[in-house]
């Protein structure tokens, strides 16, 4: 108990000393249109529908097409997609909540409300047999996987690289147990672009300044809430908190750059964690496809979802590395953990992991908090970004590494720590570094 009290007192002290930061001036809008409020959507009732959205012929003059003057009221929808949607809404009496294009899949998607008195299942059954419809499904909800336990004390001391001068690094259980400081002798994630799909992030946090390249809000237009969001701030700190700055903590890959896609939010008045839905996650994944992000961190999950699966398959086909947190119940049948090629991460435990599942520290992880502070957090949401950071270290050394090779490296280089087999950043990085030297 005395050790716990001392740790909590230390956290309170460092939070009191945190530097108050000005609001970040980053873009927090969605992809080119006003952001619909995801919190207003009803996952018990609403549906997601997609129609084909082929590229229309070039316009003959402003506001026209070869089909004649017919400006689309649907943002990003071609003339044929707009006409199809209008017909479907009239035919079924549905009301649109919002819509958005997914260029990578040649689809235009909408969130719709079924007509009053019509069961959602009945509507989906009818739409499934309508040849105008490419996809029709329920609007699903998703959760982040984190909790806030009391810290159990600092980890055992490990060797530190000489340049590590971040004052609270010794309290970072995951950083110490994975020997990340030793890995930094060869790589700090320079040049690697990581996308975080999560809540918002305190981009002005002193330990995240310079690490965040851009931010995007797929949930709403509330910039203040974006800055206050805790879960994404925690994930960002584990991955890439600035190192060697005489302040706070250090990330697993402190030279990596981050893009943040807010797809999850905290429901008003609820004590539960953040939630996401099909709409917000689909917008985030579609946006990532158009970027050069090499690693995607998904510390969240939920039911299988046809639209999200299509987007994830496209991302994996593009050669991106996708790191996903295992659900607390260990079920790997939903999104995103059931997609072949996704690297699934659980919290390290004494019991052996399922085949192919990577184990990483996830209990009592000291990381960044909104308002420039620090605190402990636990769950597979914290385990996954440790692995994301290690993937960034590896890609910085060998940019052509694919997901399968990185997955195998993570498993083969894992070591026993505290009686548990878990990833080891130093071992993985040293393996790649030695191979690179051999090839020179």
Which residues, other chains included, contact 130 with Cβ-Cβ below 8 Å and sequence gap of 6+? 88, 136
Catalytic residue among 187, 348, 381, 414: 381
231 a catalytic residue: yes
Whole-number Å distance between alpha carbons of 161 and 185? 7
Collapsing DSSP to helix, strand or coil, 122 comes out as helix
Whole-number Å distance between alpha carbons of 94 and 47? 10
CB contact at 8 A, 344 and 383? no
216 a catalytic residue: no
198 a catalytic residue: yes
Q: Which two tokens stand for residue 317?
A: 């086909």
DSSP letter for each residue of 192-244: -EEEEEES---TT-TTTTTTEEEEEESS-S-HHHHHH-HHHHHHHHHHH---S
How far from 356 is each of 262, 330, 342, 352, CA to CA, in Å?
A: 29, 13, 10, 11
CB contact at 8 A, 89 and 96? yes
Catalytic residue among 231, 386, 407, 433: 231
Q: Give Cα 414 to chain centroid, integer Å.
A: 24
Catalytic residue among 46, 166, 179, 198: 198
Instruction: Cite the active site residues.
Output: 198, 231, 381
């Amino acid at each position: 108990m005395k050790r716990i009290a001392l740790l909590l007192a230390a956290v309170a002290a460092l939070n009191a000393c945190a530097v108050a930061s000005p609001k970040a001036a980053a873009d927090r809008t969605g992809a080119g249109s006003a952001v619909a409020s995801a919190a207003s959507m009803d996952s018990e009732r609403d549906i997601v529908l997609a129609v084909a959205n082929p590229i229309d012929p070039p316009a003959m003059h402003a506001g026209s097409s070869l089909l004649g003057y017919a400006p689309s009221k649907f943002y990003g929808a071609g003339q044929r997609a707009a006409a199809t949607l209008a017909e479907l809404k009239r035919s079924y009496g549905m009301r649109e909540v919002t819509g958005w294009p997914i260029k990578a899949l040649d689809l235009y998607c909408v969130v719709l409300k079924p007509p009053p008195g019509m069961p959602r299942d009945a509507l989906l059954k009818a739409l499934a047999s309508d040849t105008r419809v490419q996809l029709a499904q329920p609007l699903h909800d998703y959760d982040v996987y984190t909790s806030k336990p009391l810290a159990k004390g600092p980890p055992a001391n490990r060797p530190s690289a000489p340049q590590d001068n971040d004052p609270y690094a010794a309290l970072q259980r995951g950083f110490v147990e994975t020997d990340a400081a030793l890995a930094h002798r060869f790589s700090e994630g320079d040049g690697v672009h990581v996308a975080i799909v999560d809540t918002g992030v305190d981009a002005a946090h002193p330990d995240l300044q310079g690490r965040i390249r851009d931010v995007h809000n797929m949930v709403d237009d509330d910039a203040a809430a974006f800055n206050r969001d805790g879960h994404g701030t925690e994930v960002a700190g584990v991955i890439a908190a600035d190192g060697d700055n005489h302040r706070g903590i250090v990330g697993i890959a402190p030279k990596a750059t981050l893009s943040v896609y807010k797809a999850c939010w905290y429901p008003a008045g609820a004590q539960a964690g953040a939630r996401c839905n099909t709409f917000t996650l689909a917008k985030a994944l579609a946006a990532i496809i158009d970027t050069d992000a090499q690693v995607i961190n998904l510390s969240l999950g939920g039911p299988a979802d046809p639209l999200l699966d299509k987007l994830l398959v496209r991302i994996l086909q593009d050669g991106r590395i996708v790191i996903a947190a295992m659900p607390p119940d260990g079920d790997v049948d939903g999104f995103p953990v059931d997609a072949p090629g996704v690297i699934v991460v659980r919290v390290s435990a004494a019991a052996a992991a399922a085949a192919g599942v990577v184990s990483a520290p996830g209990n009592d992880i000291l990381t960044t908090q909104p308002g420039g502070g620090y605190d402990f957090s636990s769950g597979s949401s914290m385990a996954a970004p440790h692995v994301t950071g290690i993937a960034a270290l590896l890609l910085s050394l060998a940019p052509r590494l694919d997901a399968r090779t990185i997955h195998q490296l993570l498993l083969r280089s894992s070591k026993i720590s505290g009686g548990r087999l878990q990833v080891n950043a130093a071992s993985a990085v040293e393996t790649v570094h030695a191979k690179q030297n051999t090839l020179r």
